[in-house]
Amino acid sequence: MGLDSYIQLFFSGITIGSIYAMVALGFLIIYSSTGIINLAQGEFVMLGGLIAVTCHHTLHFPMPLTFLVTVLLVTVIGTLFEITCIHPLKNPSVLGLIMITIAASILMRGIAMFIWGKEEHGIPTFSGDKSVSVIGASVPPQVFWILGVIFTVLIILFLISKYTLIGKAMRATAADRTAAHLVGINVRKIVLLSFAVSAGLGGVAGVVLTPMTLMSFDRGTPLALKGFCATVVGGLGNPAGTVIAGLLLGLIESFVTGLVSSHYKDVIALFILIIVLFVKPSGLFSKSEEAKLKKF
Amino acid sequence: MGKNNYIKCALFLIIIGFLPVFVSNQYYLSVLVFAGIYAIVAIGLSMLMGYAGQISLGHAGFFAIGGYTSAILTKFHNFHPLQAMIIGIVFTVFAALLVGLPSLRLRGHYLAMATLGFGEIIYVTSGAATGLTEGPSGFSGVPSIALAGFTIKSELSKFYLVWLVALIIMILSLNIIHSRIGRALRSIHGDEIASNAMGVNVAKYKIQVFVYSAALASIAGSLYVHHMRFVSPTGFNLNKSILFLIMIMSGGMGSLWGAVIGAAIFTLLPEFLGVFNDYDILMYGAILLGMMMFLPHGLTGLTTKIIQLVLSKWKTRTQNNP
């Protein structure tokens, strides 16, 4: 096996890994501000892909408009999900909240099947299908779009959380909800915002992924599972660790599939999850003292 | 286990005894066999979730281990169904310890994550290990279950067998709940730290109830393949784990009888929702979401609430009109 196939595996790994990283970051943002593991996270990616399909094929929007409208719609769906399903609950238990998000994910999948049917849908790639040659390996140009868009979003997110007031408020809420409330942060607004941002991240991942792999109503759950693995491996509370864990999972999955066997492609991430829970349950990139303070 | 539960057990026995008199249709009888099988899983899961307060998102995995062990051993290796069932339980207990030991030592809901991963691993493996399981299409020709020399083949005899097993497991579980272990479990559900301080070995009890519920799922899995006489991975995916959760949620957490009722409802409901055929997933989602938001204590909670309401109305009326 030549160098070019390794490079090919590397690119496909880092592409799918960046999608996992987006989903994982979505998990993390909602978890930080609310303590909820939102198992409907993968459905946002699915909705992003399928709404983009409708925007492009039925409404004939150009690609940039498709992108904007889709991400906006998914963000609205995420916010509505919080307003209608999570917020009205009085004293919910962790168990109840997990079940609600599972129920919502089943419902979203059902609605998607109702609207778009069971078939796979696709949209054209952003800039043609002519492969780019990287050190002898041919890489589809969409890969660069996926990596570019996702890393731009990540950098923007990082800058917002680091330097703006709203970002600081979000970090304060993540650190301690009660204390944040006491210093005058509108926690309710932050919770809504975190659902909106998480859904938006899912939407972005969905739009950029669909030209590569097509999209159907049942694609959300596997993505949620893997994103979830990345969140736990990254240590539930460490954004950089989560992104690295997502990329690592993608790379490991791609190399194992390419070099060993493709039968067990979907269990590699889960297997890593169980090993991490066994060996270092606080995650690879987080201190165990920190993990002891967490509710979940 | 309390006078109340003796009456309920007797009532349960009477219902099982006379139900086939009213259900002559073989197909519906077969559906009721499935209801009994799921009731066994639901009882175990209800003990884990309702009493110990732990979430399992992977009970379909244990169900699959029991099912595949029974199917493979009886069909290809001429084991007796009971032997195969017991070997299945041994495998399941081993798997449950493997998943449960690391995750139950920790506080919180690591078990939910670990079981979610475990269930998917078993599901994918059962489709990918073609040498052992014949792959995604599965195989048929699993023999019927046999007991003391009799092969149990007709729907009626399967109905009685499965529901009698469910009754025995029910009595066993009720006894566990009304013992020292049950009280310990409820204290863990109430507050882990407080019960630990009172001298309850939290980790030990959590592991025990987790393994117990996994073993019940394995027994149910064995009965399932002997009833279907066919096995394939589709019966054991994440949706099945979620269906088990829906059953105990709808019945009401912390009520074993509620779990049985929930299992019966959600096995029978799809038969009546036949008009929705492909869109049953939409119905499941809507029903589960509605239940979680408006009936957090399930149907048993609703019934108690209605009874209390009627009683209090009746009391105020008798007080006003002496």
B112 touches chain A (CB under 8 A): yes
A64 and A177 share one domain: yes
- Is A74 or A266 the better-scoring residue by pLDDT? A74
Q: Alpha carbon A189 to chain centroid distance?
A: 22
Residue A7 lies in a domain: no
Residue A134, strand partner residues? A137
The overall longest dimension of chain A from CA atoms, in Å, is 60
Residue whose structure tokens are 């979830």: A228
Residue whose structure tokens are 């864990």: A245
Q: Alpha carbon A237 to chain centroid distance?
A: 15
A172 and A138 share one domain: yes
Residue A114 lies in a domain: yes
A228 and A201 share one domain: no
Fold (CATH) for B3-272 = ABC transporter involved in vitamin B12 uptake, BtuC (1.10.3470)
A182 and A200 share one domain: yes
Domain that holds residue A296: 219-296
A79 and A200 share one domain: yes
Residue A132's CB is within 10 A of a number of other CB atoms, namely: 12
Residue B62: both structure tokens together? 């244990």
Q: Per-domain residue ranges for chain B?
A: 3-272
B147 touches chain A (CB under 8 A): no
A46 and A152 share one domain: yes
Residue B280: both structure tokens together? 């049953």
ipTM of the complex: 0.75
Please name the residue of chain A whose CA is at the shortest distance from the CA of residue B100. Answer: A278
Last residue of a domain, one of A216, A243, A259: A216
Q: Which of A102-111, B257-266, B270-279 has the lowest mean pLDDT?
A: B270-279
pLDDT of amino acid A221: 84
**How far apart, in Å, are the Cα atoms of A99 and each of A79, A209, B289, B291?**
18, 28, 8, 10
The Cα A76–Cα B182 span in angstroms is 45
Last residue of a domain, one of A172, A195, A216: A216
B189 touches chain A (CB under 8 A): no
The Cα A208–Cα A49 span in angstroms is 8
Residue A51 lies in a domain: yes
A210 and A241 share one domain: no
Last residue of a domain, one of A179, A195, A216: A216
> In which band, very low, low, confident or very high, does the pLDDT at B275 lie, cut at 50, 70 and 90?
low
At A26-64, the pLDDT tens digits run 998 988 888 788 888 999 999 999 999 999 888 888 888
A161 and A88 share one domain: yes
A3-34 vs A239-259: helix crossing angle, rounded to 10 = 140
pLDDT of amino acid A296: 46
> Would the CB atoms of A266 and B124 count as touching at under 8 Å?
yes
Cβ atoms of residues B138 and B230 within 8 Å: yes
A59 and A127 share one domain: yes
Residue whose structure tokens are 């297997």: A271
> Would the CB atoms of B117 and A281 count as touching at under 8 Å?
no
A179 and A37 share one domain: yes
Whether the CA torsion A139, A141, A144, A145 is positive or negative: it is negative
- Is B3 or A107 the better-scoring residue by pLDDT? A107
A256 touches chain B (CB under 8 A): no
Backbone angles phi, psi at B293, to 5 degrees: -85, -40
Number of alpha carbons in the 13 Å side-chain half-sphere of residue A111: 15
Residue A6 lies in a domain: no
Residue A228 with chain B: CB contacts under 8 Å: 113, 116
Q: Answer yes or no: is pLDDT of A293 > 70.
A: no
At B296-320, the pLDDT tens digits run 777 777 777 788 888 888 877 777 6
Candidates A155, A202, A159; CA nearest to A28 is A202
